[in-house]
Structure 1
Amino acid sequence: MTRSQDRLLAQWRAEPIRESKFRSYVRLAKLDVFDYYLSLFVVLAAILATTTQFSVEVFPMLLCFVAGEICVLASLVAFDDYTGFADGSDVANYGPDAPLRRKLRKPLVAGTLTPAEALRFAWGAAAAGAALWTAAILIGPYRPMWTVILLVVTFVVSLQYSYGIKLSYHGFQEIYLAALGWVLVLAPYALATGTINAFVVVQALIFGLGPLLFGVYSNTNDIEGDRSVGRTTVASTVSPRANARFVAALSLAEFAIGAVGSLTGAAPWWFVLAMAPATMMRARQWHRGFKLGDIMTARRMGFRVHRLSVLLLVLANLLVLALG
């Protein structure tokens, strides 16, 4: 951190914050942001809708997979907080001059955890995640080699997202946020069924864009802090107008995936209509963020849109099941 960031941190910590270590570790793991974990419901509904046989071995496999997913992501965000504190970007983005951000969400900056504690937590969560994903592979009814390789790559890349080689600092953040969501649908589905399904691919692509479409609003808000530490995102690299167009393109891509799925038969003909409520909310999100200039409200809207999308995906699968 620079001297100015040190002074900013001291100003922020002028009033000591007290909370339990357990609570601080929960905050470090960002367990309140559960949007990736909703993949479980999409996968379960997709298995019911697209397969004729359902093995009881699927349930313990899915439990292990989701528990591993939680641990891997807890490790990722803990490493991210550790790096963001060390380079000063979190002090800039969550400091007293950013009143819309809750400082307790960053335990290192708030002073409720030390960097050493965060680092130990990150490595412990990573080890637990590796063990649980290994268990999911071993106890599942199927283990396609491409799925195993995909999970290994995802695990390794997750640890390098903001730590080690810091992929998110070198222009890979946006693709990772989407790709992680794709993996968290496709991998457990393949472990459960031994194959892949076109409709499931459509759902995975839509699911992965959800977290990305609140991540890009965060990046828009964090431009100055990211630039100060050399963290390369689309928002920190291009002009405001180009960034607005980029986010609009992502929003349109989400709609286009459903539309192409319906037109080609990869998804039911009515699928694009079923996803229309999420599409309309996505348009409102962009308008709020880039026309009205309320980026943080638009970011919060992104969580609601993603959760609505998950609900609509589950309902679409159940309708496919009901229609036979």
Structure 2
Amino acid sequence: MAKAVEVLQQEIGYSNVEALGETLQNIVNNNTAQQVEGLPSNEVAEKLNKAYQQLDLTSYSSEEIRRMIQFTFLKAAKEDGLQMNHQMTPDAIGLLVAYMIDQMTKKDESLQIADFAAGSGNLLSTILLFLQSAGKTASATAIDNDEVLVHLALQAFALEQLDVKTSLQDGLQDSLVDPQDFVVSDLPVGYYPVDANAARFETKNDEGHSFAHHLLIEQQVHYLKEAGVGFFIVPTNLFDTSEGEKLLSYLQKETYVQAMLAFPRNLFKDVQFSKSLLIVQKRGKGAKQVSQVLLGDIPEFKNREKFRKFTLTFEKWVQEML
């Protein structure tokens, strides 16, 4: 797949990530390179078609296809120097969130999951495929405002045969999304430039631009069902500022803050960019505050004994939450 992406990128002059999205679309389109205004040339199109047919994704599982797309994306993102907010969520994080959702649900439940900052969609894919392997039924909604990443996600979901409604829009605008059982989001960190829209949020800053990641938490909590659960991948210092205190006040009013767990620092190239997992439950029928908020560090995944103890603690904690 990576070779086909490289050929298309060189022929048309796309970024590598754009070329990956076009490659996936060509594969979805019966392994046929699409030509627009004579590009790619007939010679290159024939070369690409042959590469797609040799790849033959019909012989791969959905999870194998996801990993193949992920590997190619990581290479493309490195070549393009993609900004941090557009990078894929590490598999270890996605699988941990998927395991947690699995522990919180029963086999006969039909789950609805949304991500209002879905990017390339890999976090949702990881979770949906894990739940599928556990015998669960789940559909999802993926929203993002980046045209290139949404196009890529749309093709990836199709190849992975996942039930995902994908929308290109500002995740902080009103959406026609039904109340969700779960929201999951690896939140983009930074300022939101549309002050007029930010003004309607409780978590807006009093002066200047507001933090996009604060607003996105509020937005996604709004779209949860009563007792629905939000999993937010956030900066570890999320609540350490006056704006963070305002966010916490909002969360304590609208949700039960159930857990704040720091991910292993070895998952991040720079410790100053380390992240934590914030778990909240929307107030309402069936929701309750656990007697002890789950706080602390998630052990390194390679430390099997410590991680096993963590999962046992988590499973016991979940039983109280439910």
TM-score normalised per structure 1? 0.27
Higher relative contact order (CA 8 A, sep 6+): 1
More strand by share: 2
Higher helix content, 1 or 2: 1
User: What is the TM-score when the length of structure 2 is the normalising length?
Assistant: 0.28
